[in-house]
Chain A
């Protein structure tokens, strides 16, 4: 079975400050990890993914995420937050085994960037 935990329902950060949105996962094999963002009344948009290779993954809009196998984490980061980054962020995981091909999503973290 695969699962994802996003421990924070909401993260508040001031514009210009660094931000971190936390994600931990559980899979039986090796993980494929994704971050998606959802703006109000819109579908989810892909931000970045980790499949293999470098633990630091760079994605869209200046976001990056760090894969940490020992801590089973894949936290989303950005060095300098923008007000326009305010949205709902979802972490998702898939096992590399022969099981379900669909993603398992976390419950989401609402990011609020204050001007």
Chain B
């Protein structure tokens, strides 16, 4: 079946502009995660959605970052007033449930470059 998809694959934007990144999780997966991978760094947790529960936003680096998940499926990560330090690869992952310990399936990522 189809895996996690993300769009766009690459995004170049000017400093100060807003950007939206999209994630389509695997069908039926109730848990969705956003991570950020900066050059030479590991993955940094941003936000986590589980079903209809309130999202865990504890990893968002500033109030310029927000995310929503509509209908328990597609998710959009929005970065307002982008800064050069926001340049990174943004990875989305989904899993069937977080109640049991299951692996997360990752999308290919969106490479964001802020000029």
Binding site for B on A (CB under 8 A): 4, 6, 32, 34, 36, 41-46, 49, 51, 90, 92, 94, 100-108
CB distance from A13 to the nearest CB of B (A): 21
B79 at the A interface (CB under 8 A): no
- Whether A108 lies near B104 (C-beta < 8 A) is no
Q: Are B33 and A45 in contact (CB under 8 A)?
A: no
Partner of B41, one of A92, A101, A107: A107
12 contacts between A and B (CB under 8 A): A4-B42, A6-B42, A34-B103, A43-B91, A43-B108, A46-B105, A49-B101, A100-B45, A101-B98, A105-B42, A107-B41, A108-B42
Partner of A46, one of B48, B56, B103, B108: B103
| Count of chain B residues with a beta carbon within 8 Å of a chain A beta carbon | 24
B4 at the interface (CB under 8 A from A): yes
Residue among A4, A42, A90, A103 with max Cβ neighbours from chain B (10 Å): A103
Nearest chain B CB to A22 CB, angstrom units = 14
| Complex CA distance for A6 and B40, rounded to whole angstroms | 13
What's the nearest-Cβ distance from chain A to residue B76, in Å? 18
- CB <8 Å contact, B56 and A90: no
Residues of A within 8 A of B101 (CB): 32, 49, 51, 94
Chain A: CB-nearest residue to B47: A102
Contacts A43-B91, A51-B101 known; A101 to B31 CB distance under 8 Å?
A: yes
